[in-house]
Copies of this chain bind each other. A is one copy, B any other.
């Protein structure tokens, strides 16, 4: 955080971009700091000057997602009633998933994900789940939220859907989120 540029002028952003490209090609487990340095044409020490580990790089790559989820929660929690909160959480989450679609394609399904996802990210995901499940979650709402989370996360990362543009995917997922996360009683 205190080292924006290395002694050789290697920008943190370049390291992060290169790391994401390698994560996509080789998985997180299959990527090393040495590989990142080689592709950037710098020494391993230059990368180490910026980041102490691959995990730190991955956490930094995921930081924008953490910040976005935190923002969505803040906006939702400021609203007076539960239904409005739920709607904002749904809409905010879909918007976020689309915006980070490329990162999702890299990280969803990566076996290293449970190890690298920062604690804060898991914590805010839990808060988001509470917002979507409502004040007194029954089995129906808990299942619906689980289906929504997994379904949306996988859809934005799905290579079979890569030809569908962001706007269309956004519209369909928003529609689906409203079908999935709502009381059963009003639909039967």
Contacts and interface: CB of A to CB of B under 8 A. Distances in A.
Interface stretch (A5-13, A47-55, A84-92, A146-154): A146-154
A81 interface: no
Contacts of A136: none
Interface stretch (A32-40, A61-69, A116-124, A180-188): A180-188
**Residue of A139, A144, A150 most packed against chain B (CB within 10 A):** A150
A178 to B, nearest CB: 9
Contacts of A152: 147
Number of copies of this kind of chain in the complex: 2
Interface stretch (A18-26, A71-79, A160-168): A160-168
A44 interface: no
Interface of A: 109, 111, 139-140, 142-144, 146-155, 158, 160-161, 164, 168-169, 172-173, 175-176, 179-180, 184, 187-188
A160 B126 CA distance: 11
A144 B160 contact: no
A139 B179 CA distance: 17
Contacts of A144: 172, 176
